[in-house]
């Protein structure tokens, strides 16, 4: 059995999709995409936020537990357990004999779940980092005024909503295309990406077009969930994780849906007041 994905995200197995989504966002908050936990959390959420994948996973969990229970029931008692069974001594035959006390078998050690350990480690690390910042940076107040704290939180919330909204809105125009309109699709894509990203896509487009026209491919992409992973200190670069459904049609084939998650790097166009543009991305198969 693989590690329990519910424990990894620190949620109950009865958790609702909203609860899982909140836990997922909290888990990857401020994690660098190169961190191994970043991919693990995204993969876990990708399973638990998809009804079909979650049902299959729950069935695997249930079967694994059933198999484990049956294996325990079929095993003969070990020597240690057998030795712990009290032996009846006839005190009438031996007045000096003392009836031995039953020794309770020692059960397995119970410890915190994987999710709890991860959560504790992350919290401790963040607390230590915060303490170091307060100590090392002169003039930093540990306790901002309620007014300043509220203002900072409001600004952060607005930025978070703006970045996640931008990521959702660019998924369809950037990742959708039709074999009949490839030139127009490329021009539409350029309106949502940086010049660097536009150059990269332009170089790859002839090969994409060739494949699309040969197989008469139509791809329609939609965003099904987003989570802000990190905003750089200058507030002009952000990393966003997006769950994506791609509805694909091909010549002489039944339509199907590709489900994936992608890490998007967004940058502001023209400073603080500019809109967010896609500068780079990687999908779950290509993200390191």
Average pLDDT taken over every residue of the chain = 77
Structure tokens at 231: 């905003």
- 207 to 119, 136, 201, 204, 210: CA distances (angstroms): 45, 53, 10, 6, 5
**Contact present, 194 and 276 (Cβ < 8 Å):** no
Q: Residue 156 pLDDT > 70, yes or no?
A: no
Whether pTM exceeds 0.75: no
Q: Which sequence spans correspond to the domains of the chain?
A: 1-101+113-142, 143-288
Per-residue pLDDT band for 32 (boundaries 50, 70, 90) equals: confident
> Considering the domain 143-288, what is its CATH architecture?
Roll (3.10)
Out of 40-49, 139-148, 216-225, 245-254, which region has the weakest mean confidence (pLDDT)?
139-148
Identify the CATH assignment for 1-101+113-142 out of 3.40.50.20, 1.10.287.110, 1.20.58.100, 3.30.360.10.
1.10.287.110
**Average pLDDT of the residues in 88-112:** 42
Cα torsion 55, 56, 59, 60 to 10°: value is: -140
Residue 283 bridge partners (DSSP): 262
Higher pLDDT, 34 or 198: 198
Q: Say how far apart CA 17 and CA 11 lie, in whole Å.
A: 11
User: Encoding tokens for residue 269?
Assistant: 């166009």
């Amino acid at each position: 059995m693989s590690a329990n994905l519910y424990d990894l995200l620190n949620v109950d197995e009865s958790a609702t999709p909203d609860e899982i989504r909140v836990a997922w966002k909290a888990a990857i908050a401020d994690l660098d995409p190169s961190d191994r936990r970043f991919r693990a959390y995204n993969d876990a959420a990708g399973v638990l936020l998809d009804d079909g994948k979650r049902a299959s996973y729950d069935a695997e969990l249930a079967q694994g537990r059933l198999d484990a229970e049956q294996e325990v029931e079929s095993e003969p008692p070990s020597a240690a357990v057998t030795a712990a069974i009290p032996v009846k001594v006839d005190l009438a035959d031996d007045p000096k004999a003392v009836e031995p006390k039953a020794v309770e078998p020692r059960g397995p050690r119970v410890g915190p779940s994987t999710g709890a350990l991860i959560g504790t480690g992350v919290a401790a690390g963040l607390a230590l980092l915060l303490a170091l910042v307060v100590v090392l940076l002169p003039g930093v107040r540990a306790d901002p005024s309620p007014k300043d704290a509220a203002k900072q939180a409001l600004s952060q919330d607005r930025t978070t909503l703006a970045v996640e909204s931008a990521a959702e809105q660019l998924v369809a125009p950037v990742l959708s295309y039709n074999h009949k309109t490839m030139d127009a699709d490329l021009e539409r894509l350029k309106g949502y990406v940086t010049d660097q990203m536009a150059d990269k896509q332009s170089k790859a487009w002839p090969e994409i077009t060739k494949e699309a026209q040969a197989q008469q491919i139509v791809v329609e992409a939609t965003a099904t969930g987003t989570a802000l992973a990190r905003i750089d200190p200058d507030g002009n670069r952000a990393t966003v994780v997006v769950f994506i459904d791609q509805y694909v049609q091909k010549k002489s084939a039944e339509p199907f849906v590709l489900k994936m998650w992608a890490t998007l790097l967004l940058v502001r166009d023209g400073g603080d007041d500019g809109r967010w543009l896609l500068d780079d991305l990687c999908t779950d198969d290509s993200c390191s």
